[in-house]
Structure 1
């Protein structure tokens, strides 16, 4: 694997390098050998982040959620902005750096596999111009988050096989999105940008002022426009995203209710349980009992916040 940057990792950022023994198993497993991650991460407001690779021996994907940066490939400097995707195939020497004034927030993944070259070709992104404006897509953000879930697996191979197939989902999703990408009017309401910001901050609190500022609107006009388009309020949608995430964590792990609450931005587990029950109709404990059949699906009724 190409050496990842040694950028000092602050809180709320992630750098996850898959151990060599796991990579060896992935490369020999029929379910993952065609495509598998070598390492992945999420860098939030990555001030001072920079990298230079004269030798690049795997494939690298970088998805910029916010902020700015730049990359130098083939003796050309290319600006990187929010919503841009960088694809660096094996063998492509490169330099990149986060902006000093508006540091980028990015997801990244190094990957390999017997069909990795074919997946790169399928993206139809020129090596001469490896930066494309894909736009901000909340579903893609969720897929990167799911890929990073493997780091909680205690190195169980099945979790990494799942991550390998999540990477396949990400790359094929990008290929599907590309023909649909088109520039938006400067004054258009970028709903995907708002939802992507919500997904990226799902483990935190997020206020209306921050959401409104992301699309350059006043709080009043933002709430009105959002409700006109979606039929709900932005905070209600954000709460539902948090509870969806909590359900996923309850499904796939044995974490305590308090731990799950903290992972979706609630320091008070009791308050989290109240919000969860208001949305789902049952408590987190009752929801977890669905897994073992101790709670009937007939009792499972969703509510509206």
Structure 2
């Protein structure tokens, strides 16, 4: 695994290296071999903390809970603040350090595994090797890290490490689907939560691509490209899927006609709405309603 920093631990600091025999067991076990931790830690108020690596043999996730730091990688240098998560894939030369005047407090985990690249892929965009995320729930990430750190007090119980490995996979998949903001190389945030809030606000009407792009101060072409790189789908496709999700909800909980539901979602032509619904859901609104009601 990659060498961890030699920052002198404070009384409340934690640095836990998974022993070699357990790493071997995790590599072989069918429930863990795809993704598992090899080192975990917590550095509170990490004054003087710094690290530089030219060789990086595993993936690294750093979650800043307080203070500030800087990270340099992939020809970019970014300031890290409370609530930010740094994603550094293996093989990426990098360096990072705590700010002198406001040193960060960080949780961190080194991990690897047969499918670890695939778990990391949704967190990165456009082949870049550095991502800064701001997850929707900071409390959840702290809680997950505390559970991960619990394995250091289990007497190297393999079942505990199996649980920790699967929690790590859950954390990564959560971040892949719930990072509302991602920091660009220029240090500004691409605020997905603001974009999605606008989509929800306009769910009962129409929404132009220009209006979404304006929300994050980008041209519609740059916005569309950036959005798809982060989420894996176009913004208009996502907006349409939100509408169809809500249509399913209305079909489930109300006895309103298809025409009324269509109008509720901003479609004056109920036949057009029905064609869209069937194209996405695989069955018509009336067929869906019959299916759900048994």
Q: How far 1:133 moved relative to its partner?
A: 2.9
Q: Does 1:38 align with 2:38?
A: yes
State the secondary structure of the residue aligned to 1:178: coil
Distance 1:123 1:33 in 2: 21
Residue 151 of structure 1: aligned partner: 152
1:70-95 deviation per Cα after TM superposition (whole angstroms, max 9, x unaligned):
01112322111111111110110000
Which one has the largest radius of gyration?
A: 2
Cα shift at 1:107: 0.6
Aligned in 2, Cα 1:157/1:133: closer, same or farther, shift over 3 Å? same
Deviation string, structure 1 residues 238-296 (Cα, Å, up to 9, x no partner): xxxxxxxxxxxxxxxxxxxxxxxxxxxxxxxxxxxxxxxxxxxxxxxxxxxxxxxxxxx
Determine the C-alpha separation between the residues in 2 that align with 1:128 and 1:172: 18
CA distance in 2, matches of 1:8, 1:43: 9
CA contact (8 A) 2:180 2:193 kept: no
Q: CA RMSD in A?
A: 1.9
User: Distance between the aligned counterparts of 1:15 and 1:115, measured in 2?
Assistant: 25
Residues 125/103 of structure 1: CA separation in 2 closer, same or farther (3 Å cut) = farther
Aligned-pair CA distance for 1:175: 1.5
The 5 Å alignment of 1:1-305 reads: 1-125=1-125, 127-134=128-135, 137-179=138-180, 182=191
Shift of 1:178: 1.4
Q: CA deviation at 1:66?
A: 0.7
SS of residue paired to 2:178: helix
Distance 2:133 2:166 in 1: 23
Contact kept in structure 1, 2:124 and 2:130, CA below 8 Å: no
CA distance in 2, matches of 1:65, 1:140: 10
Write the distance in 1 (CA, Å) between the matches of 2:102 and 2:180.
29
How far did 1:130 drift?
2.0
- Cα gap change, 1:75 to 1:123, in 2 (>3 Å): closer
How far the C-alpha of 1:125 sits from its partner, in A, is 4.2
Give the TM-score taking structure 2 as reference length: 0.60
Aligned pair in 2 of structure 1 residues 68, 136: CA closer, same or farther (>3 Å)? farther
> Contact conserved, 2:22 with 2:158, CA < 8 A, in 1?
yes
Shift of 1:136: 5.5
Cα drift, residue 67 of structure 1:
0.4
The CA distance in 2 between the partners of 1:135 and 1:67, in whole Å, is 19
Unaligned runs of 5+ in 1: 186-305
Cα deviation, 1:216-252, whole Å, max 9, x if unaligned, reads: xxxxxxxxxxxxxxxxxxxxxxxxxxxxxxxxxxxxx
Distance 1:180 1:101 in 2: 26
SS of alignment partner, residue 65 of structure 1:
strand
Structure 2: how far apart are the matches of 1:86 and 1:118? 17
8 Å Cα contact 1:87/1:125 also seen in 2: no
The farther-off stretch of 157-166 and 127-136 is 127-136
Deviation at 1:183, TM superposition (A): 8.3
